[in-house]
Amino acid sequence: MGGSVIVTGGAGYIGSHACKALARAGFVPVTYDNLSIGNRWAVRWGPFELGDIHDSARLHDVFRAHRPVGVLHFAALALVGESVAAPSLYYRTNVAGLCCVLDVCRARDVNAFVFSSTCAVYGAPAQLPIDETTPPAPINPYGASKLMAERVLADYDAAYGLRHVALRYFNAAGADPEGEIGERRDVETHLVPLAVDALAGRRPPIRIMGEDYPTPDGTAVRDYIHVSDLAEAHVRALRHLLTGGASRVLNLGVGRGYSVREVLDAAARVAGRPVPSESAPRRPGDPPALVADPTAAQTLFGRDLAQRSSLDHIVETAWRWQNSDFYDRVFFAR
Ligand code: UDP
């Protein structure tokens, strides 16, 4: 199996790892990205097409030129706090932008669509672990926009036969184990890269946001999955669709939760010294604990999906990436 695959947002963190996984599986990843967040240097495994997901004419040109067999759609906005302050931006990008890409797929007869969704669609559920039957109840515009997007996908399937796999990510973290790419954003809010940069002295001490949660050590619990495992899941989702599989909505997590403190302990083990940290209030909108039941995805894609996702490996690959000469150059480049 092969052919071109349009990867919107392919210059971003998860998108670029997915491009590497696609290339390894024999596909040609065509990155379509406006570089508002993504990095040109992260596009290494196929052609790059500069463009915005709202630009229908440009999308048509790119689809005409590359004749894709499917689409991986990563292009989106994904910061909870920003979504609360600027919901218009979030619904326009994450819902209207999606419709624009889907309509080009319809016109070009592309019927395999892999979508980046999120565990934020669940809100703050009382029961853990979370399986796909847990009723969605987003608590911020980001989660709401992704839930709406899932509804759009279901309706497009029913009406037009455009099949999708929506992958509800838990916490993506880590970096390419071969050190070729990794996480790098101008505005960084995520625990693992901030902790590693704090260890390296590149950023101030990490702020432990909330020590009064109803969790064993008082800090918030998340399900961390290695970005390369996540990337591989996209390839398997695409194969599922290309071999005639039905639309699915699937959790992508490991099924094991770690607290903020446990993540910082893992970083300290890797570095051989403690992470500089300080106490801080809870971050608005953060649920106390999110842990996936990953059974459905593992049944469809195989249990080896979590092979790179031990916490120590996640932190170790992030540590190696953020201590590379290349990272040092790109960190200070912008
Ligand atoms: N967190 C923290 N300090 C930070 C960044 C994050 O204590 O500087 C906590 C955050 O409250 C959450 C966990 O780390 O409980 C993971 O946050 P992240 O932003 O990485 O992912 P999220 O779960 O928000 O998608």
Which of ligand 1's atoms lies nearest the C-alpha of 192? 20
pLDDT at residue number 219: 98
Verify whether ligand 1 is closer than 6 Å to residue 101 (CB atom). Answer: no
pLDDT at residue number 329: 85
Catalytic residue among 13, 90, 142, 327: 142
Contacts of 292 (CB under 8 A, 6+ apart): 119, 129, 130, 131, 168, 170, 223, 251, 252, 253, 254, 255
Verify whether ligand 1 is closer than 6 Å to residue 194 (CB atom). Answer: yes
| Residue ranges in the chain modelled with pLDDT below 70 | 334
Q: In the annotation, is 142 catalytic?
A: yes
Domain 3-173+224-252 has CATH 3.40.50.880: no
Domain 191-222+256-291+310-331 has CATH 2.60.120.40: no
pLDDT at residue number 48: 98
Burial of 299 (0-12, 13-18, 19+ CB in 10 A): exposed
Which of ligand 1's atoms lies nearest the C-alpha of 206? 8
Q: Provide the β-strand partners of residue 73.
A: 8, 115
pLDDT at residue number 334: 55
Which of ligand 1's atoms lies nearest the C-alpha of 282? 11
pLDDT at residue number 330: 82
Verify whether ligand 1 is closer than 6 Å to residue 313 (CB atom). Answer: no
Residue whose Cα lies nearest atom 5 of ligand 1: it is 191
pLDDT at residue number 124: 92
Pairing of strands 3-8, 70-73: parallel
Verify whether ligand 1 is closer than 6 Å to residue 222 (CB atom). Answer: yes
Q: In what helix (H) or strand (E) does residue 102 lie, and over which residues does it extend?
A: helix 97-108
Contacts of 290 (CB under 8 A, 6+ apart): 119, 122, 125, 128, 130, 170, 171, 221, 222, 223, 257
At residue 156, what are phi and psi to the nearest 5 degrees?
-70, -35
Which of ligand 1's atoms lies nearest the C-alpha of 220? 15
Give the Å distance between the CA of 191 and the centre of ligand 1: 5
Verify whether ligand 1 is closer than 6 Å to residue 260 (CB atom). Answer: yes
Q: Name the amino acid, one letter, at 327.
A: Y
